[in-house]
Structures are given as structure tokens and as C-alpha cells.
């Protein structure tokens, strides 16, 4: 049970606002484990939302099961690669951030790492990638290149 005497912006209430969270279950788990399961379910819903909206897979492209299965498998691979890139930028600490985060949304990774302006030049049978030094994500990008080029 939570009792609030003011709103988040500081406005005082004439009468306290009371919020009651109640869970009923037939699982033989402790209260803390049930609440943790409930929060984990909410986190899974965020991942599903990212796959559907950020990656554009709201609707499957075909009425054929095999085609949709292939699309979902390719989406799963792309999602895992993007999550890995996002987590690696957090580990490196080179990505610009307004606050400390535990994970980056897929949309953020796509906008800042994948949609990256640069110039690809071929000279003397070699490829060179030039990136503006003013780009805030350049250090994070090169950190990812060095990290995964070693693999």
C-alpha cells in the first residue's frame, strides 16, 4: 500500500492518495519472487514493443507460415546484434548519455550507430571510412569497430 500526500510536481493533496497493489497467485513462491516475476513480465513486454515498433515488424508480410517464420528468424538475429551493440556501447562508456542507463533502446542504436554519416573511399585497393570528428558517436562507433574486428 502506498500513501501519497502530494503529486510529483509538488502540489499538496487535500486528502491523501492511496494506491494498493495486490497480486493473487497459486504459485508457491515468496512475495518478493512474485513481484520480481511481475516486473520481469513488464520488461519482456518492452522488448516485444521494441521489436514491433522500432524494427517495423508490426505486421508480418505474408499469409504463408514459412515466409513469416523466416522473417521472424531474421528479425531475431538483427535484434540480438543490435542489443549486443547497444550493450557494448554502455560497457565502453564512450557513448554520449544524459544519464546512466542499463540498456539502450533499439531505436537509439539504429539512429546513432547504424544510421551513421561517413564517407567510404577506395584507394590503392583499400577501403577507408572517414567520419566527422564533430560526431558525438564517433568514439563509440570506433570502439565497436575495434572490439568486434578482433573477433
For residues 26-30, average pLDDT:
86
Query: 502506498: which residue's cell?
Result: 2
Q: What are the cell numbers at 54?
A: 522500432
In this prediction, residue 73 has a pLDDT band, given cuts at 50, 70 and 90, of very high
What was the pLDDT predicted at 126? 94
In this prediction, residue 18 has a pLDDT band, given cuts at 50, 70 and 90, of very high
What pTM, to 2 d.p., does this model score?
A: 0.69
Cβ atoms of 82 and 106 within 8 Å: the answer is yes
Q: Where are the alpha helices (DSSP H) in 50-151?
A: 65-92, 106-109, 138-149
What was the pLDDT predicted at 23? 72
CA 116, CA 113: separation in Å to the nearest integer? Answer: 6
CA 146, CA 58: separation in Å to the nearest integer? Answer: 34
Amino acid at each position: 500500500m502506498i500513501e501519497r500526500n502530494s503529486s510529483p510536481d509538488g502540489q499538496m493533496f487535500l486528502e491523501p492518495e492511496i494506491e494498493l497493489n495486490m497480486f493473487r497467485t497459486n504459485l508457491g513462491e515468496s512475495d518478493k519472487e512474485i513481484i520480481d516475476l511481475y516486473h520481469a513480465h513488464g520488461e519482456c513486454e518492452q522488448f516485444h514493443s521494441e521489436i514491433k515498433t522500432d524494427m517495423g515488424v508490426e505486421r508480418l508480410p505474408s499469409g504463408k507460415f514459412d515466409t513469416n517464420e523466416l522473417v521472424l528468424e531474421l528479425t531475431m538475429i538483427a535484434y540480438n546484434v543490435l542489443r549486443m551493440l547497444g550493450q557494448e556501447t554502455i560497457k565502453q562508456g564512450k557513448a554520449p548519455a544524459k544519464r546512466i542507463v542499463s540498456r539502450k533502446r533499439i531505436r537509439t542504436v539504429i539512429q546513432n550507430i547504424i544510421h551513421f554519416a561517413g564517407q567510404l573511399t577506395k584507394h590503392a585497393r583499400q577501403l577507408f571510412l572517414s567520419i566527422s570528428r564533430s560526431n558525438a558517436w564517433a568514439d563509440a562507433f570506433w570502439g565497436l569497430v575495434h572490439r568486434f574486428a578482433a573477433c
